[in-house]
Amino acid sequence: MTMPPFNANTPIPTDLPRCAPGRLPERRGVQGSNQYRRVALEALLAEQRIEQSFPEAAAQGLTYETAREFVQHGMVIETTTAAYVNHLLHVVEILLPVLGNRNWVVCYNDRAGEHFIVTDNPVAVTWSDTRPTGFFGPAFGKPETDVTIPLSSHVALIGRFEDVPETLELSKQGVAAVNNKTLAYSSRFIAACDDDFLVDTLDRGIVGSKEVIEQIEKWAAEREKKK
Protein backbone atom coordinates (compact mmCIF):
# COMPACT_ATOMS: atom_id res chain seq x y z
CA MET A 1 0.00 0.00 0.00
CA THR A 2 1.27 3.47 -0.87
CA MET A 3 0.29 6.72 0.78
CA PRO A 4 -0.95 9.79 -1.16
CA PRO A 5 1.69 12.45 -1.87
CA PHE A 6 2.93 14.54 1.01
CA ASN A 7 1.99 18.21 1.07
CA ALA A 8 5.05 20.35 0.25
CA ASN A 9 3.26 23.69 0.10
CA THR A 10 3.85 24.83 3.68
CA PRO A 11 5.88 28.02 4.13
CA ILE A 12 9.37 28.17 5.62
CA PRO A 13 9.21 30.08 8.95
CA THR A 14 10.69 33.55 8.99
CA ASP A 15 12.22 33.55 12.47
CA LEU A 16 15.93 32.81 12.80
CA PRO A 17 16.67 29.48 14.50
CA ARG A 18 17.56 30.10 18.12
CA CYS A 19 17.45 28.22 21.39
CA ALA A 20 17.56 29.74 24.88
CA PRO A 21 17.56 27.03 27.57
CA GLY A 22 16.90 28.10 31.15
CA ARG A 23 14.93 27.49 34.34
CA LEU A 24 11.15 27.22 34.29
CA PRO A 25 9.96 30.79 34.99
CA GLU A 26 7.07 31.78 37.24
CA ARG A 27 5.70 33.82 34.34
CA ARG A 28 6.14 33.22 30.67
CA GLY A 29 5.52 35.11 27.44
CA VAL A 30 3.42 33.35 24.82
CA GLN A 31 4.38 34.63 21.38
CA GLY A 32 1.96 34.69 18.48
CA SER A 33 3.01 32.83 15.32
CA ASN A 34 3.89 34.58 12.06
CA GLN A 35 0.50 33.54 10.67
CA TYR A 36 -1.40 35.14 13.57
CA ARG A 37 0.69 38.30 13.27
CA ARG A 38 -0.10 38.60 9.54
CA VAL A 39 -3.82 38.24 10.23
CA ALA A 40 -3.63 40.78 13.05
CA LEU A 41 -1.80 43.27 10.83
CA GLU A 42 -4.51 42.90 8.18
CA ALA A 43 -7.11 43.63 10.85
CA LEU A 44 -5.27 46.82 11.81
CA LEU A 45 -4.93 48.31 8.33
CA ALA A 46 -7.65 50.83 9.06
CA GLU A 47 -7.64 52.76 12.33
CA GLN A 48 -11.41 52.64 12.67
CA ARG A 49 -11.28 48.84 12.90
CA ILE A 50 -9.94 49.10 16.45
CA GLU A 51 -13.19 50.58 17.72
CA GLN A 52 -15.26 48.29 15.50
CA SER A 53 -13.50 45.05 16.44
CA PHE A 54 -12.50 45.78 20.03
CA PRO A 55 -15.01 48.27 21.44
CA GLU A 56 -14.43 47.37 25.11
CA ALA A 57 -10.63 47.61 24.78
CA ALA A 58 -10.94 50.87 22.85
CA ALA A 59 -13.16 52.27 25.59
CA GLN A 60 -10.43 51.44 28.10
CA GLY A 61 -7.79 53.33 26.13
CA LEU A 62 -6.53 50.94 23.44
CA THR A 63 -5.36 53.00 20.45
CA TYR A 64 -4.45 52.07 16.90
CA GLU A 65 -0.81 52.99 17.51
CA THR A 66 -0.39 50.83 20.63
CA ALA A 67 -2.16 47.86 19.01
CA ARG A 68 -0.04 48.06 15.87
CA GLU A 69 3.19 48.29 17.89
CA PHE A 70 2.13 45.24 19.90
CA VAL A 71 1.49 43.20 16.74
CA GLN A 72 4.66 44.30 14.94
CA HIS A 73 6.91 43.45 17.88
CA GLY A 74 5.94 39.83 18.35
CA MET A 75 2.52 39.76 20.08
CA VAL A 76 3.99 38.46 23.35
CA ILE A 77 1.21 37.87 25.88
CA GLU A 78 2.43 37.37 29.45
CA THR A 79 0.74 34.81 31.67
CA THR A 80 1.67 32.72 34.69
CA THR A 81 3.29 29.35 34.11
CA ALA A 82 0.53 27.74 36.18
CA ALA A 83 -2.15 29.22 33.93
CA TYR A 84 -0.23 28.14 30.82
CA VAL A 85 0.15 24.56 32.09
CA ASN A 86 -3.55 24.47 33.00
CA HIS A 87 -4.39 25.57 29.45
CA LEU A 88 -2.16 22.82 28.00
CA LEU A 89 -3.82 20.17 30.16
CA HIS A 90 -7.22 21.32 28.90
CA VAL A 91 -6.00 21.13 25.29
CA VAL A 92 -4.62 17.63 25.87
CA GLU A 93 -8.03 16.41 27.07
CA ILE A 94 -9.56 17.65 23.81
CA LEU A 95 -6.84 16.42 21.44
CA LEU A 96 -6.15 12.94 22.82
CA PRO A 97 -9.42 11.36 21.53
CA VAL A 98 -8.93 13.02 18.14
CA LEU A 99 -5.37 11.75 17.84
CA GLY A 100 -6.46 8.31 19.02
CA ASN A 101 -8.97 8.07 16.17
CA ARG A 102 -6.19 8.47 13.60
CA ASN A 103 -4.37 5.55 11.99
CA TRP A 104 -0.63 5.79 12.60
CA VAL A 105 2.19 4.68 10.33
CA VAL A 106 5.82 4.37 11.44
CA CYS A 107 7.94 5.95 8.72
CA TYR A 108 11.66 5.30 8.48
CA ASN A 109 14.72 5.95 6.34
CA ASP A 110 18.16 4.60 7.26
CA ARG A 111 20.12 6.12 4.39
CA ALA A 112 22.93 8.54 5.18
CA GLY A 113 22.14 12.20 4.55
CA GLU A 114 18.38 11.60 4.55
CA HIS A 115 17.25 12.31 8.10
CA PHE A 116 14.39 14.02 9.89
CA ILE A 117 14.72 17.35 11.65
CA VAL A 118 13.14 18.51 14.91
CA THR A 119 12.11 22.01 16.00
CA ASP A 120 10.71 23.82 19.03
CA ASN A 121 7.22 22.88 17.77
CA PRO A 122 7.71 19.50 16.03
CA VAL A 123 4.09 18.31 15.79
CA ALA A 124 2.56 19.53 12.53
CA VAL A 125 -0.94 19.13 11.09
CA THR A 126 -1.14 19.70 7.32
CA TRP A 127 -3.25 18.61 4.36
CA SER A 128 -2.31 15.21 2.96
CA ASP A 129 -2.33 16.47 -0.63
CA THR A 130 -0.72 19.57 -2.11
CA ARG A 131 -3.50 22.07 -1.42
CA PRO A 132 -2.34 25.37 0.20
CA THR A 133 -2.52 25.45 3.99
CA GLY A 134 -3.86 29.03 4.17
CA PHE A 135 -3.17 31.30 7.13
CA PHE A 136 -3.99 28.84 9.90
CA GLY A 137 -3.81 25.40 8.31
CA PRO A 138 -6.27 22.56 8.98
CA ALA A 139 -7.53 21.49 12.40
CA PHE A 140 -6.50 18.25 14.12
CA GLY A 141 -9.94 16.74 13.52
CA LYS A 142 -10.08 17.36 9.76
CA PRO A 143 -10.12 14.37 7.38
CA GLU A 144 -7.47 14.17 4.64
CA THR A 145 -4.80 15.64 6.92
CA ASP A 146 -1.44 14.47 8.26
CA VAL A 147 -0.22 14.79 11.82
CA THR A 148 3.56 14.37 11.59
CA ILE A 149 5.83 13.74 14.58
CA PRO A 150 9.59 13.15 14.16
CA LEU A 151 10.73 10.61 16.76
CA SER A 152 14.42 10.44 15.84
CA SER A 153 16.74 11.25 12.95
CA HIS A 154 15.49 8.20 11.04
CA VAL A 155 11.97 7.51 12.41
CA ALA A 156 8.78 9.59 12.29
CA LEU A 157 5.06 9.03 12.90
CA ILE A 158 2.32 10.08 10.51
CA GLY A 159 -1.33 9.90 11.56
CA ARG A 160 -4.31 9.94 9.18
CA PHE A 161 -8.01 9.17 9.46
CA GLU A 162 -7.73 7.24 6.19
CA ASP A 163 -6.18 3.75 5.95
CA VAL A 164 -2.38 3.61 6.12
CA PRO A 165 0.15 0.77 6.38
CA GLU A 166 1.72 -0.01 9.75
CA THR A 167 5.22 0.84 8.51
CA LEU A 168 6.52 2.71 5.47
CA GLU A 169 10.05 3.28 4.19
CA LEU A 170 10.25 6.84 2.91
CA SER A 171 12.26 7.96 -0.08
CA LYS A 172 14.56 10.97 -0.04
CA GLN A 173 11.67 13.13 -1.23
CA GLY A 174 9.38 11.71 1.47
CA VAL A 175 11.85 12.61 4.23
CA ALA A 176 12.29 16.10 2.74
CA ALA A 177 8.50 16.55 2.59
CA VAL A 178 8.07 15.56 6.25
CA ASN A 179 10.87 18.01 7.14
CA ASN A 180 8.97 20.76 5.33
CA LYS A 181 5.89 20.08 7.43
CA THR A 182 7.96 20.13 10.62
CA LEU A 183 9.84 23.27 9.60
CA ALA A 184 6.64 25.18 8.82
CA TYR A 185 5.58 25.09 12.47
CA SER A 186 8.94 26.22 13.84
CA SER A 187 9.40 29.64 15.45
CA ARG A 188 12.59 29.45 17.55
CA PHE A 189 15.02 26.74 16.47
CA ILE A 190 15.77 23.87 14.09
CA ALA A 191 17.88 20.86 15.11
CA ALA A 192 19.31 18.00 13.06
CA CYS A 193 21.82 15.19 13.57
CA ASP A 194 24.34 16.98 11.32
CA ASP A 195 24.80 20.35 9.63
CA ASP A 196 22.92 19.44 6.45
CA PHE A 197 19.29 18.42 6.02
CA LEU A 198 16.76 18.30 3.20
CA VAL A 199 13.48 20.18 2.70
CA ASP A 200 11.05 19.66 -0.17
CA THR A 201 9.23 22.65 -1.66
CA LEU A 202 6.81 22.85 -4.58
CA ASP A 203 8.49 25.77 -6.31
CA ARG A 204 12.17 24.74 -6.02
CA GLY A 205 12.05 21.03 -5.30
CA ILE A 206 14.40 19.59 -2.68
CA VAL A 207 16.75 22.14 -1.12
CA GLY A 208 19.46 21.81 1.52
CA SER A 209 19.85 23.45 4.90
CA LYS A 210 22.13 26.16 3.48
CA GLU A 211 19.37 27.42 1.17
CA VAL A 212 16.79 27.18 3.97
CA ILE A 213 18.89 29.23 6.41
CA GLU A 214 19.73 31.81 3.74
CA GLN A 215 16.03 32.28 3.02
CA ILE A 216 15.20 32.60 6.73
CA GLU A 217 17.95 35.20 7.20
CA LYS A 218 16.73 37.11 4.14
CA TRP A 219 13.15 37.24 5.41
CA ALA A 220 14.31 38.19 8.90
CA ALA A 221 16.38 41.07 7.49
CA GLU A 222 13.44 42.30 5.42
CA ARG A 223 11.19 42.20 8.46
CA GLU A 224 13.69 44.22 10.50
CA LYS A 225 13.72 46.91 7.81
CA LYS A 226 9.95 47.23 8.03
CA LYS A 227 9.95 47.84 11.80
Q: Is residue 4 part of a domain?
A: no
Residues 112 and 58 in one domain: no
With 60 as the cut, is the pLDDT of residue 26 above it? no
Structural domain count, the chain: 2
Residues 202 and 116 in one domain: yes
Residues 46 and 128 in one domain: no
Residues 70 and 162 in one domain: no
Q: How confident is the model at residue 109 (pLDDT cuts 50, 70, 90)?
A: very high
pLDDT of res. 132: 72
Q: Are 141 and 94 in contact (CB under 8 A)?
A: no
Q: How confident is the model at residue 145 (pLDDT cuts 50, 70, 90)?
A: very high
Q: Is residue 203 part of a domain?
A: yes
Q: Determine the Cα–Cα distance for residues 108 and 190; give it in Å rounded to an integer.
A: 20
Residues 58 and 110 in one domain: no
With 90 as the cut, is the pLDDT of residue 168 above it? yes
Residues 173 and 219 in one domain: yes
Q: 210 Cβ partners below 8 Å, 6+ apart?
A: 196
With 80 as the cut, is the pLDDT of residue 225 above it? no
Residues 59 and 134 in one domain: no
Residues 128 and 165 in one domain: yes
- Kindly report the average pLDDT of the chain as a whole number: 76
Q: Is residue 111 part of a domain?
A: yes
Burial class (CB in 10 A: 0-12, 13-18, 19+), 159: buried
Which residue range(s) make up the domain with 183? 102-226
Q: How confident is the model at residue 23 (pLDDT cuts 50, 70, 90)?
A: very low
Q: Is residue 143 part of a domain?
A: yes
Residues 138 and 206 in one domain: yes
- Give the pairing of strands 167-169 and 103-108: parallel
Q: What distances in angstroms separate CA 103 from CA 8, 93, 100, 160, 162, one per listed residue?
A: 21, 19, 8, 5, 7
Q: What distances in angstroms separate CA 14 from CA 38, 93, 224, one per listed residue?
A: 12, 31, 11
Q: Name residue 77's amino acid.
A: I
Q: How confident is the model at residue 98 (pLDDT cuts 50, 70, 90)?
A: very high
pLDDT of res. 11: 39
Q: Are 5 and 198 in contact (CB under 8 A)?
A: no
Residues 107 and 178 in one domain: yes
Q: What is the pTM of this model?
A: 0.67
Residues 162 and 217 in one domain: yes
pLDDT of res. 88: 87
pLDDT of res. 51: 63
